[in-house]
Amino acid sequence: MTRLLAIGECMIEMSPTPEGTYAMGFAGDTFNTAWYARKLGGEELEVAYYSAVGDDEPSARMAGFMRGAGVVPELAVRKGGTVGLYMISLKDGERSFSYWRSAAAARSLAEGLDRLPAGKGDIALFSGITMAILPEAGRRRLLEVLAAARADGLRVAFDPNLRPRLWASDAEMCHWVSEAAKVADIALPSYEDEASYFGDVSKRATADRYAAAGASLVLAKDGPEPVLVLENGTETLVPPQIVTEVTDTTAAGDAFNAGVLSALARGLPAAEAADLGCRVSAQVVTRRGALVEIDLPGIGLPA
Ligand code: ADP
């Protein structure tokens, strides 16, 4: 069985309810991908989440949530530690996010890490957000461990997920994202963000940059515009689904990644993997929230 191991930070999510109270959930970019991949992967795919949490009640609830969703928690437990939290505010229909994550144990996820709980034939996913939350030594350690596992046959997927607010400077972000790209077999950048911070003049330029760093497969996302798939120098454009009413694009990219990685794990060709990513994310943008129920027959998968 193939294992998809997502690596990063899952947080408590507090989201407003119509009653004026808050509902507690759990989310975070790489975790969202794991959650969707579990739904999409069927019996053939095991999905696991690697992070660090505390030894308190919220940390235990987070691990319980993962188990309940069918995601295997691979969590280092830090004594006295806790997990991060974010709160969604709704004002005039616009969502804004406040974060309390500076004390999160996830920042220590690379401490003492010398082997990943995944190996030959498996897929590991990490992101620019995973890199951003780590101290410098942690970033180096994670990249070393990923590079070593990759040399042993692990496929490494990387979503740059550029979030300048999480970094000390744009230059620091671009530096570490470029370092991370060097260990990736599969790169999942979003063109608009990449153009803003790396100055790419086209989607192909974004894809070429990740291919030059070593990715044999790049899928450059572009919102409602075609996904550019670049595999070993060959380009294919895959059109997203037409969505007439976009409600909330939160986690669209994460759900897309889940479609892609679960399809690649099943051995599907890259263009079909991109198409599954588009079909999943097209459903996600029509519903509110990061983790939404997917109509599996609606995307051509068994329920
Ligand atoms: P990110 O959330 O990483 O910035 P994008 O906004 O590019 O990613 O969206 C990821 C994927 O979600 C797209 O490739 C597309 O398949 C789907 N998607 C996003 N916005 C739309 C939309 N308005 N209509 C249809 N599909 C969309």
Is residue 204 one of the residues assigned to a domain? yes
Is residue 154 one of the residues assigned to a domain? yes
Q: Which of 221, 242, 276, 284 to mutate to test the pocket of ligand 1 (most atoms within 8 A of CB)?
A: 221
Instruction: Work out the average pLDDT over 213-221.
Output: 98
Residues of the chain above pLDDT 90, percent: 93
Q: Which of 159, 193, 222, 254 is catalytic?
A: 254
Q: Is the CB of 281 under 6 A from ligand 1?
A: yes
Query: Which residue, 72, 68, 53, 45, is CA-closest to 8?
Result: 53
Is residue 302 one of the residues assigned to a domain? no
The answer to whether residues 197 and 164 touch, using CB atoms and an 8 Å cutoff, is yes
Total number of domains in the chain: 1
The answer to whether residues 183 and 215 touch, using CB atoms and an 8 Å cutoff, is no
State phi, psi for 128 to the nearest 5 degrees. -60, -25
Is residue 153 one of the residues assigned to a domain? yes
In the reported structure, the alpha carbon of residue 220 is separated from the centroid of ligand 1 by a whole-number distance in angstroms of 11
Is residue 296 one of the residues assigned to a domain? no
In the reported structure, the alpha carbon of residue 125 is separated from the centroid of ligand 1 by a whole-number distance in angstroms of 19
- Counting atoms of ligand 1 from 1, which one is nearest the CA of 191? 7
198: buried, middle or exposed (CB in 10 Å: 19+, 13-18, 0-12)? middle
In the reported structure, the alpha carbon of residue 190 is separated from the centroid of ligand 1 by a whole-number distance in angstroms of 9
Is residue 295 one of the residues assigned to a domain? no
Is residue 300 one of the residues assigned to a domain? no
pTM value surpassing 0.95: yes
- Counting atoms of ligand 1 from 1, which one is nearest the CA of 251? 2
Q: Is the CB of 223 under 6 A from ligand 1?
A: yes
Given the cut 0.90, state whether the ipTM is greater than it.
Answer: yes
Is residue 298 one of the residues assigned to a domain? no
Q: What is the CATH number of the domain that holds 258?
A: 3.40.1190.20
pLDDT at residue 123, as a whole number: 98
pLDDT at residue 21, as a whole number: 95
Give tens-digit pLDDT for 249-296.
999 999 999 999 999 999 999 999 999 999 999 999 999 889 999 999
Spatial distance between the Cα atoms of 240 and 20, rounded to a whole number of angstroms: 35
Q: Is the CB of 221 under 6 A from ligand 1?
A: yes
254 in active site? yes
In the reported structure, the alpha carbon of residue 285 is separated from the centroid of ligand 1 by a whole-number distance in angstroms of 8
Structural domain boundaries enclosing 207: 2-290
Q: Is the CB of 6 under 6 A from ligand 1?
A: no
